[in-house]
């Protein structure tokens, strides 16, 4: 694994688009739900958001666990 591959994996994140797609709503709905409740444009979060956030977080966890394993191999090989 090279520097670009490792840092691409490190910087990988979940965006508004991925969450909106998983919830079956628009990106605007996600952004509005994230606004302060006092904001005029605030909307309630989509129903079922808790399970979807949990699922996406688990996928990120697996992603970073794989990156850790790969980088441990790289560091171990470099130490030899």
Q: pTM (2 decimals)?
A: 0.87
How far is Cα 60 from Cα 71, in angstroms, rounded to an integer?
16
How many folded domains does the chain comprise?
1
Domain of 59?
3-79
Q: Report the alpha-carbon distance of residue 50 to residue 72 in Å, rounded.
A: 33
Closest CA to 27 of 9, 14, 8, 39: 14
Q: Is the pLDDT of residue 62 over 90?
A: yes
Structure tokens at 22: 């998983």
* Angle formed by the axes of helices 49-79 and 3-11, nearest 10°: 160
Given this model, what pLDDT does residue 1 score? 87
Res 80: pLDDT: 84
């Amino acid at each position: 694994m090279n520097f670009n591959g490792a840092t691409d994996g490190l910087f990988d994140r979940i965006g508004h688009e991925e969450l909106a797609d998983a919830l079956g709503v628009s990106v605007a709905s996600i952004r509005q739900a994230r606004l302060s409740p006092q904001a005029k444009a605030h909307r309630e979060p989509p129903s079922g958001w808790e399970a979807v956030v949990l699922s996406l977080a688990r996928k990120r966890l697996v992603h970073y666990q794989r990156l850790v394993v790969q980088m441990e191999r790289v560091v171990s090989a470099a130490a030899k």
